[in-house]
Structure 1
Amino acid sequence: MALARRTGLAKQPVLDKQLLMEEASERTGLSDFGDPWFERPFDVLLDALHCEARLNPAGEWAAKAQFLKLLDDRLWAQQWFAEHPEILARPLPRPVIVVGIMRSGTTRMHRLLSADRRFSHLRQFETISPVPRPGFTHGGKDSRITLAKRIGMVAKLSNPKTLDIHPTGAMQPEEELGLLVNSMWSMKHEAQWFVPSYGRWCEEQDPKPAYLQMARLLQLIGWAQQSSSLRPWILKTPQHMMDLPTLLELFPDARLVFTHRDPVAVVGSAASLAWNQTIIYSDHADPHVIGEEWLRKTRVMIERMRKARDSIPAERMIDVHFDEMDSDWRGAMGRVYDFLGLDITPTLPAMADYQRRTGSGKRRRHVYSLSEFGLTEARVAEELGDYVATYGITREGRQRAAS
């Protein structure tokens, strides 16, 4: 991208809200973006990108492309809702929501539950592009799958480590983070760009409009999948640690599966994930600054989760530990299914197949250390030790923290 600019083959992207919205309207021929609330976090995010992120030429290009795509999706979503009012009439009954800190085993829990056909789940292409393109027909070719594959190829070329840390694919079960990003909301931005002022601003806001849009997009995805509206959704994203009261207001009958892991391992892994994404878009990322930010963010997530849990009835939630899943995943999932009131037997073969395909010997090791992010085990243990004691979390130690 830098070469393209120097040779005149590309112009510097202009990251201006009004210009981006006008361009999206021209591209789609539409003007209704839905609830204008999204413009508030959009303004704050753009300010943070200009003042803090220090994007490189590829980062600026990618940011503009991402924003235009999100704006296109909002415009197309409103068109689908207007043309098919039955979409917003679809119920979203009793979702099962996996809640945990980044890197605490939420993905493994989510994908094991997604193996059960009694539930509905998103696939990666649907969280990247939750809104079908105009002309979409049930059972026809879906260009969103091709787009997701191309994005995956670009990500692998840009930094192969990102897919080692979070392996995925266009048709793989994936979290609904992209549905919150549709409102310019969520920690995804903080893990992609260095935008601490945006993260702190979001922590003080009421996220309800973003979650309402998430629910509308879930209804649209279920309609596009032609899945039964009676099947509960399997949901998960670490963002829910921050917003549990809003989540439970939206889904008062939700059942919650909390995952827990030694924060010494979690903080290092989260910082590594954020670092490996940020360096794609900026040439000035500081690993020590990123380490400090993700230690702080982990602490905030835990504090918000613990406060919210005080008002959740015990029969609505269950705790599952990372080491328990490592040592006896069948026993742990059996406890989860007892909690859900379901027989695990029909889905055990699919779960076992997932375990065989993704076990520790089947994937590349995610190697990291706290020291490369300016942190120590002693400091993380001191700051987050109360969380470990309260939930009886097993300390993983240096060797396990690097896996």
Structure 2
Amino acid sequence: MGIPNRPHPLARAKAADWAGRAVQALWDKGLTPKPPLEPEFLWEVASRGFDPQDETSLRSNAEVEDFRARLDQLCASLREDAALNAMGHAMAYGQLTSAIRKRHALGQVWRETPQLAQTAIAPPIIVAGQMRAGTTRMHRLLAADPQHAGTRFCNSHNPVPISPDWRPLKAGAALAIARRINPWLDALHPFGATRIDEEIGWLAGALSPATFEAQWHIPGFVGWSEARDPAPVYAEFARILRTDAATMGDADRPRVLKCPQFSEDLPALLAQFPDARLVVTRRDSAAVLDSSVSLVASQMAVQSDHGNLAGIEREWQRKLRLREQRLETALAEFRGLVAWVDFERLNADWPGEIAQTYAALDLPLTDAALAAMHREQSRAEHGSHTAHKTQLAQFAAS
């Protein structure tokens, strides 16, 4: 099925309106209570069935306290700032209870098999740079190399290892629902249940703002988080990565990691992986802003009836500037290998940009790697995300 016309950045599909009305009707008729976005209530619901020790397993007191503080601040900002509609309220409830539940489930795994979180892994390759600046393309090209490894979307969505592994089926079902609610989803970012994807789900599980600020207007939480040391988030991230590498059997291959949030938090990530190699993508700032605003507006439109395009643009001008400043500061202090990737050159000659990237990182570029990358590039060229360029042109014209 093709991508339908998107007349405005804040356009909302009929399916989203229908789902929102259905949720509101359930609450209005008393068929199910509207769940409060209160930390104590969310914790009681999501931790049910787990041992209290699952919250603390392998985690320091500071890490336990950080998660609780993040939950408090995020809930307060959702109540006070976000102006959520019924759909947004239900989605916030689902995401926060999921984060609490998965945190306990990981703690349970680590309490029973702590060695998983201590798995020795090859130094990773970290793709940093602004969102919409070619990070996904570089990430997937590098991860296509048989010498490297990448994180499946379903593993990012749910990092708790299970046997048999039903995560691809569950992630596929979740994506089907998401595409129904937002039919422009794949134009903004090409998804697949087992496709290599960014580790934003692992950050969301530790209540980093990355996934939440792209959905909700939550300036209280975002400002608080930006001023806070993200070290506890990346301590959890490192445990999840080591666990995932052990269970997927690829600990001996460099994992290619990617999330735009890394640009904001790079010192904390490098503290966990000091031997990492870096790939930094760059693109014209105006193009990055236009594409970022389009992505954020599409997600916010579903969850609030009070979307403000000018406000979204102002916030993401600020956010992109902050990430650029923090990335520059971190890179000035980094003494490892760095490859710089230009978005336009990547469009014009991706094999050439890959070749210079491998040379900068002192990595061997094999025929097998190039063949795998050609297959990945062919898949990308025929993907739905190419429709986003058309959408942006229509927005600019109107």
Query: Structures share a fold, TM > 0.5?
Result: yes
Q: Distance in 1 between matches of 2:197 and 2:378?
A: 19
In the alignment, structure 2 segments of 5+ residues that lack a partner are 1-22, 57-62
Q: Which amino acid aligns with 2:169?
A: T
Q: Find the residue that maps to 1:365 and give its secondary structure.
A: helix
When the two chains are superposed, the root-mean-square deviation of aligned CA atoms in Å is 2.0
Pick the aligned partner of 2:243 from 211, 216, 220: 220
Pick the aligned partner of 1:78 from 92, 101, 107: 107
Pick the aligned partner of 2:125 from 96, 116, 135: 96
Residues 1:329 and 1:147: Cα distance change in structure 2 (over 3 Å): same
Q: Which amino acid aligns with 1:153?
A: A
Q: Which has the higher contact order (CA 8 A, sep 6+)?
A: 2
Residues 1:20 and 1:282: Cα distance change in structure 2 (over 3 Å): same
Contact 1:337 1:344 in 2 (8 A): no
Q: Which amino acid aligns with 1:64?
A: Y
In the TM superposition, what whole-angstrom CA distance separates every residue of 1:116-141 from its partner, at most 9, and x where no partner exists? 12212111111111113xxx33xx3x
Deviation of the 1:370 alpha carbon: 9.7
Q: Find the residue that maps to 2:54 and give its secondary structure.
A: coil
Matching of residue 189 in structure 1 with residue 212 in structure 2: yes
Q: Which amino acid aligns with 2:378?
A: R
Q: Distance in 1 between matches of 2:71 and 2:89?
A: 15
Q: Which amino acid aligns with 1:76?
A: A
Deviation of the 1:29 alpha carbon: 5.4
Of stretches 24-33 and 150-159 in structure 1, the one that deviates more from structure 2 is 24-33
Structure 1 counterpart of 2:282: 260
Deviation of the 1:361 alpha carbon: 7.4
Structure 2 counterpart of 1:326: 347
Pick the aligned partner of 1:127 from 151, 156, 159: 156
Deviation of the 1:75 alpha carbon: 0.8
Structure 2 counterpart of 1:52: 81
Matching of residue 154 in structure 1 with residue 177 in structure 2: yes
Residues 1:79 and 1:348: Cα distance change in structure 2 (over 3 Å): same
Deviation of the 1:9 alpha carbon: 2.3
Contact 1:92 1:219 in 2 (8 A): yes
Q: Distance in 1 between matches of 2:41 and 2:257?
A: 34
Q: Which amino acid aligns with 1:169?
A: G
Q: Find the residue that maps to 1:192 and give its secondary structure.
A: coil
Matching of residue 38 in structure 1 with residue 63 in structure 2: no
Of stretches 292-301 and 58-67 in structure 1, the one that deviates more from structure 2 is 58-67
Q: Distance in 2 between matches of 1:230 and 1:361?
A: 31
Structure 2 counterpart of 1:379: none
In the TM superposition, what whole-angstrom CA distance separates every residue of 1:102-154 from its partner, at most 9, and x where no partner exists? 1000000000111112212111111111113xxx33xx3x2222221122112
Structure 1 counterpart of 2:254: 232
The share of aligned pairs that are identical, in percent, is 34
Q: How many residues align?
A: 367
In the TM superposition, what whole-angstrom CA distance separates every residue of 1:36-75 from its partner, at most 9, and x where no partner exists? 1211111111111001111111111111111111111111
Deviation of the 1:364 alpha carbon: 4.1
Contact 1:149 1:170 in 2 (8 A): yes
Of stretches 3-12 and 111-120 in structure 1, the one that deviates more from structure 2 is 3-12
Deviation of the 1:225 alpha carbon: 1.2
Deviation of the 1:28 alpha carbon: 4.0
In the TM superposition, what whole-angstrom CA distance separates every residue of 1:281-303 from its partner, at most 9, and x where no partner exists? 11111111111101110111111
Q: 4+ runs of 1 displaced by more than 3 Å?
A: 27-31, 360-364, 367-372
Residues 1:371 and 1:54: Cα distance change in structure 2 (over 3 Å): farther
Matching of residue 208 in structure 1 with residue 212 in structure 2: no
Pick the aligned partner of 2:97 from 68, 71, 77: 68
Residues 1:362 and 1:200: Cα distance change in structure 2 (over 3 Å): closer
Q: Which amino acid aligns with 1:359?
A: E
Q: Distance in 2 between matches of 1:242 and 1:61?
A: 29
Contact 1:93 1:253 in 2 (8 A): no
Q: Distance in 2 between matches of 1:17 and 1:82?
A: 24
Deviation of the 1:6 alpha carbon: 2.4
Q: Which amino acid aligns with 1:198?
A: F
Q: Distance in 2 between matches of 1:146 and 1:168?
A: 14
Structure 1 counterpart of 2:13: none
Structure 1 counterpart of 2:19: none
**TM-score (ref. length: structure 1):** 0.87
Structure 2 counterpart of 1:380: none
Matching of residue 358 in structure 1 with residue 380 in structure 2: yes
In the alignment, structure 1 segments of 5+ residues that lack a partner are 373-397
Residues 1:58 and 1:28: Cα distance change in structure 2 (over 3 Å): farther
Pick the aligned partner of 2:356 from 317, 335, 340: 335
Contact 1:268 1:368 in 2 (8 A): no
Q: Distance in 2 between matches of 1:243 and 1:249?
A: 10
Deviation of the 1:362 alpha carbon: 6.1
Deviation of the 1:180 alpha carbon: 1.2
Residues 1:7 and 1:191: Cα distance change in structure 2 (over 3 Å): same
Q: Distance in 2 between matches of 1:85 and 1:68?
A: 24
Deviation of the 1:89 alpha carbon: 2.3
Q: Which amino acid aligns with 2:116?
A: I
Q: Distance in 1 between matches of 2:333 and 2:375?
A: 37
